[in-house]
Amino acid sequence: MAIMVKSQGNHHAGVVVNDRDKRLLRQHYPWVFGRSVKAVPKDIADGDLVPVYSEDREFIAWGFFNGRSQLRIKLFEWREESFNLKEKIRERIRRAYLFRHQVLKITGQTDAYRLINSEGDSLPGLIVDVYGGSAVVQVNLLAFYQNLNLIIETLGDIVQVDRILVKTDEHYAEKEGFELRERWAVGGGDGRAIIRDGDLLFAVDLLGAQKTGFYLDQRDNRRVVKGLAAGKRVLDCFCFSGAFALWALKGGAKEVVCVDSSEKALELARENLRLNHYAARIVKAKAFDFLKEQAAGGERFDLIILDPPKFAPKKKDYAKAMKGYFELNRMAMQILNQNGILVSCSCSQQVDQESFVAVLNQAAISLGREMKVIDVKTQAPDHTFVPSCPETRYLKCIISEIE
């Protein structure tokens, strides 16, 4: 149906937000938090697309409302005129597809990529990743759960895949008020897929996987590691399925050690090494424990990659996360040869790039060493971000020489 603005004299139906937030929201900041909401009409239900107004009754945007969530409204459209919601969803899925294929020309590099990146593609709470002949749809917004059949149908028309898996992040689903069991919406099977990245092959387990099956956002950063690895002894901490390690080996690394605490991840790493005819030492251990043991044993590496899980899921975790990043990177620097290379990553939205670089520098100084930044990278360009919302540019990858 067409979504229309309702008018009653000089007052318009819709959600009213504080005037102090108006300027930020007009810059297309995509989120309205509960503390910003001044008034909500009684007839608005969770999942509804509603107009959002300032206190002086100026139209700001259309957004998806959910009274259960602290993130009360996810903004969707900044033009006031009426539109058909289903057609708008279809249009944005098509636009996301064309951006990846015509602008990024991503299939020339890989057959695994992010097709829809939530707010970055103006489809908040919707993530779609393509893995060769399979697609994984992660729904984290009630409104898109309610339109899931439309999304699957549109993907089937646009993307050349044989299977579509649907899932959710349980944390978001609980806040939004829906349940979605991981299931095949199209096709089926055991969840295994083989993808191509450059001329390397990777086995991916789509069912019950971390994220949607693979860390697609690190694609370009792994290629940087390839260019730095020749002749070096390399340590890949939090290696997951060994993607950084394989790119290091492809770049001519002398030796690679892969460390992860998950046996399931290490099985994938072993399989990926076999697929590409490379060898590496595989170690099941917690990264902090392994780094401590290596320091005690006098081991040294020329290049160390740190790609840990999210240390700061929420704002309240910030101080603890910064302490964790300091300790982790300090321990890595202790076993890094003079003028060795540290590739240190953070995927915590709450930690900005400047603060992350600063904590790495503090770790180096605490050891009497100097940090010289070689490059500052972020997520691959198919992981689009919102310029007015730094949280959507979540990945920091700092590549440094530690003198």
Specify whether the backbone of 199 is left (phi greater than 0), alpha (psi in -120 to 50) or beta. Answer: alpha
| Catalytic-role residue among 239, 258, 345, 347 | 347
d(CA 247, CA 1): 49
- Contact between residue 395 and residue 217 where contact means Cβ atoms under 8 Å apart: yes
Whether residue 347 lies in the annotated active site: yes
d(CA 362, CA 365): 5
Residue 367 has which token pair? 């050891």
Cβ contacts of residue 215 below 8 Å, gap of 6+?
A: 240, 243, 307
Nearest Cα residue to 310 out of 396, 193, 248: 396
Question: Strands 49-54, 15-17: parallel, antiparallel or unpaired by DSSP?
Answer: parallel
Q: Is 57 exposed, middle or buried (0-12, 13-18, 19+ CB in 10 A)?
A: exposed
Question: Strands 49-54, 59-65: parallel, antiparallel or unpaired by DSSP?
Answer: antiparallel
- Contact between residue 28 and residue 67 where contact means Cβ atoms under 8 Å apart: no
Write the DSSP assignment of 115-144 as a string of letters: EEEGGGGT-TTEEEEEETTEEEEEE-SHHH
d(CA 99, CA 115): 9
* 316: amino acid identity, one letter: K
Beta carbons within 10 angstroms of residue 160's beta carbon: 9
Nearest Cα residue to 25 out of 62, 56, 69, 57: 62
Question: Strands 134-139, 163-167: parallel, antiparallel or unpaired by DSSP?
Answer: parallel
d(CA 167, CA 128): 10
With residue 236 as reference, give the H or E element that holds it.
strand 233-237
* 363: amino acid identity, one letter: A
With residue 265 as reference, give the H or E element that holds it.
helix 263-275
Q: Which residues are catalytic?
A: 347
